Amino acid sequence: MKSVIFDLDGTLADTSADLIAAANRCFRDLGHGDLLNPEEDAETAFHGGKAMLTLGFSRIGEHDKALVEAEHPKLLAHYDADICRQTKLYPGAREAVAELTARGYKVGICTNKPSGLAEKLMGELDFRDAFGSLVGADTLPVRKPDPAPLVEAVTRLGADPARTCLIGDTETDRLTAQAAEVPCVLVTFGPAGEDVRHLGPDATIASFAELPDVVDGLDL
């Protein structure tokens, strides 16, 4: 059985504004004001909470890793409390997933977002039921770019791990697919834009309308 596995943040949905808002809440609580910009720092948001905290603190000359570790649970709590205020699915995501399913592919999610937050967000977006599996950062002892979470997402679909592909937006996704020895399709509509081409994916897409035919062309 063939499958298509999706990254979440920056691939299925633009979550950057809500992620940055949670980080800025941490900075404000410490008396620093907003240290991140929702537009300029969107790409950093897709690298996770610790990346956002590290960048923000660096802008005030603070480089204490212990401070980042201490603030990270608070960031996750702020994000959990207001997870879907500005987040939106990328145009065509629902239609592409529906078309892939209609063409006989099983579909799942493999994300480095904690699984509870991923489940909550997909529920609030009313999109969770479209996917047969969801594997998050804490589902297994390892996370992407280790290939195990990708393999787990495929296995939970009852599909063949050798006949899958990963749809993502970052080097982490490219390295994950490479480690699993499966094709990778990267989107160019995220903050990294056309720069993802330099990562050497098997294909890129500028819109979700292209995805079903691109996946067919991978001959999984």
5 pLDDT higher than 90: yes
| Mean confidence (pLDDT) of the chain | 97
Q: Cα–Cα distance between 92 and 83 in angstroms, integer?
A: 21
The per-residue pLDDT for 56 is: 98
Among the listed residues 55, 56, 12, the one whose alpha carbon sits nearest the alpha carbon of residue 190: 12
CATH 3.40.80.10 describes domain 3-14+87-217: no
Range 169-178 average pLDDT: 96
> pLDDT tens for residues 111-129?
999 999 999 999 999 999 9
Q: Cα–Cα distance between 69 and 67 in angstroms, integer?
A: 5
3-state helix/strand/coil string of 44-96: HHCCCHHHHHHHHHHCCCCCCHHHHHHHHHHHHHHHHHCCCCCCEECCCHHHH
Instruction: Report the amino acid identity of residue 210.
Output: E
Would you call 204 helix, strand, or coil by DSSP?
Answer: strand
Range 189-198 average pLDDT: 93
Domain boundaries, the chain: 3-14+87-217, 16-81
3-state helix/strand/coil string of 7-55: CCECCCEECHHHHHHHHHHHHHHCCCCCCCCCCCCHHHHCCCHHHHHHH
Q: Cα–Cα distance between 202 and 186 in angstroms, integer?
A: 8
Structure tokens at 73: 């649970």
219 pLDDT higher than 90: no
Structure tokens at 155: 């296995």
Global pTM reads 0.95
**Reported confidence tier of residue 191, pLDDT bands at 50, 70, 90:** confident
7 is catalytic: yes
Q: Give the torsion sign (CA, 184, 190, 191, 197).
A: positive
The per-residue pLDDT for 130 is: 98
**Given 7, 9, 18, 173, the catalytic residue:** 7
Range 54-74 average pLDDT: 96
> pLDDT tens for residues 128-171?
999 999 999 999 999 999 999 999 999 999 999 999 999 999 99
Range 10-14 average pLDDT: 96
End-to-end alpha-carbon separation of the chain, Å?
9
Q: Cα–Cα distance between 153 and 6 in angstroms, integer?
A: 10
Structure tokens at 210: 């292209």
Q: Cα–Cα distance between 140 and 29 in angstroms, integer?
A: 32
Range 103-109 average pLDDT: 98
